[in-house]
């Protein structure tokens, strides 16, 4: 069974002002992140605005990513809709295209299922596909938690192979690691400030939105750790922190697209009602990227 590991950027979906997919820009983001040494690519996540794309756009994002990546790194793909049947539909679309290593499925949003309903939801999606499935908890955005007991039970489903934890709760991430089997189940940090901490507890890596902008820095946190240089890994984690904190300076995912623009890639605009960054927030981001020696004007 596929084993997720390393740093996997949750890619933005480049869109023009009218919300049309910018395929050339998506290819540039793919090349930029792979050149930075990332260990996989994740499309159609929350950073990729899956919630606002048409079915045709979702399909095209997957097709372009599979074709352009051409096997250079594994591809992960979101199947994160609100209802079980819509998640299954997206999962089957991804499976039909081929070339994707694993699906990531976020908890439902807008509705608030119980833990037993969550177990049924994730199990039904896993049973609908041959692809490995990674659970995704992001309670700050969805208001739905994946309890430790729920994760433990779901980890026993054959093709549920891991969880991305964006709770920011290190105790919870450590508990996910404690109650699941390290051989068959991977825990990935979803909070970019906790990549090193997750690795120290036995985590497999991270799905990191800042990997769009600073792929080498984020990847090297993992690379240094795996090479046994924990001090360097921690120093790089501290170096990354200001960039991750800057991501909260505007409506998500505006900062990721603005950051890409500042490092030389025009990734277009976020879907409304997300608007442009304020001049003050833009100055903060610009300062962070200059400190990281990544800033360039285009």
% of the chain residues with pLDDT over 70 = 99
3-state SS record for the chain: CCCCCEEEEECCCCECCCCCECHHHHHHHHHHHHHCCCCCEEECCCCCCHHHCCHHHHHHHHHHHHHHHCCCCCEEEECCCCCHHHHHHHHHHHHHHCCCCEEEEECCCCCCCCHHHHHHHHHHHHHCCCCCEEEEECHHHHCCCCCHHHHHHHCCCCCEEEEEECCCCHHHHHHHHHHCCCCCCEEEECCHHHHHHHHHCCCCEEEEHHHHCCHHHHHHHHHHHHCCCHHHHHHHHHHHHHHHHHHHHCCCCHHHHHHHHHCCCCCECCCCCCCCCCHHHHHHHHHHHHHCCCCCCC
- Given this model, what pLDDT does residue 69 score? 98
- Given this model, what pLDDT does residue 249 score? 83
For residue 281, pLDDT beyond 80: yes
Q: What is the pLDDT of residues 9-32, one digit of tens each?
A: 999 999 999 999 999 999 999 999
**Residue of 5, 58, 76, 136 with catalytic role:** 136
In the structure, what pLDDT confidence band is assigned to residue 44 with cuts at 50, 70 and 90? very high
Least trusted range by pLDDT, from 137-146, 212-221, 282-291: 137-146
In the structure, what pLDDT confidence band is assigned to residue 297 with cuts at 50, 70 and 90? low
Verify whether residue 136 is a known catalytic residue: yes
For residue 110, pLDDT beyond 90: no
What are the residues whose beta carbons fall under 8 Å from the beta carbon of 169, sequence distance 6 or more? Answer: none
% of the chain residues with pLDDT over 90 = 92
Q: What is the pLDDT of residues 130-174, one digit of tens each?
A: 999 999 998 878 889 999 999 999 999 999 999 999 999 999 999
Mean pLDDT, to the nearest integer, of 266-286? 93
Mean pLDDT taken over the chain: 96
- Given this model, what pLDDT does residue 298 score? 56
For residue 226, pLDDT beyond 60: yes
In the structure, what pLDDT confidence band is assigned to residue 114 with cuts at 50, 70 and 90? very high
Q: What is the pLDDT of residues 231-263, one digit of tens each?
A: 999 999 999 999 999 988 888 899 999 999 999
Domains and CATH numbers, the chain: 6-239 (3.20.20.70)
For residues 298 and 126, which has the higher predicted lDDT (pLDDT)?
126
In the structure, what pLDDT confidence band is assigned to residue 176 with cuts at 50, 70 and 90? very high
**Residue of 5, 58, 164, 172 with catalytic role:** 164
Verify whether residue 145 is a known catalytic residue: no
């Amino acid at each position: 069974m596929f084993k997720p590991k390393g740093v996997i950027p949750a890619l933005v979906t480049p869109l023009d002002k009218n919300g049309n997919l910018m395929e050339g820009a998506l290819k540039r983001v793919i090349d930029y992140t792979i050149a930075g040494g990332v260990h996989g690519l994740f499309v159609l996540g929350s950073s990729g605005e899956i919630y606002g794309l048409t079915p045709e756009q979702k399909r095209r994002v997957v097709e372009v990513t599979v074709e352009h990546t051409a096997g250079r790194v594994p591809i992960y793909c979101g199947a994160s809709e609100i209802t079980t049947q819509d998640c299954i539909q997206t999962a089957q679309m991804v499976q039909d295209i081929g070339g994707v290593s694993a699906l990531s499925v976020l908890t439902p949003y807008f509705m608030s299922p119980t833990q037993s309903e969550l177990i049924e939801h994730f199990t039904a999606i896993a049973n609908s596909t041959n692809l490995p499935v990674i659970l995704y908890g992001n309670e700050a955005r969805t208001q739905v938690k994946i309890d430790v007991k729920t994760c433990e039970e779901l980890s026993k489903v054959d093709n549920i192979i891991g969880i991305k934890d964006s709770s920011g709760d290190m105790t919870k991430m450590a508990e996910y690691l404690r109650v699941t089997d390290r051989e068959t189940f991977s825990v990935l940090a979803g909070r970019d400030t906790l990549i090193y901490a997750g690795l120290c507890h036995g985590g497999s890596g991270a799905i990191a939105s800042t990997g769009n902008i600073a792929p080498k820095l984020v990847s090297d946190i993992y690379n240094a750790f795996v090479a046994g240089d924990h001090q360097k890994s921690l120093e790089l984690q501290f170096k990354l922190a200001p960039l991750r904190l800057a991501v909260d300076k505007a409506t998500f995912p505006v900062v990721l697209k603005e950051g890409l623009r500042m490092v030389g890639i025009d990734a277009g605009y976020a879907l409304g009602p997300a608007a442009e960054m304020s001049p003050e927030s833009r100055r903060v981001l610009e300062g962070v990227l200059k400190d990281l020696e990544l800033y360039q004007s285009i």
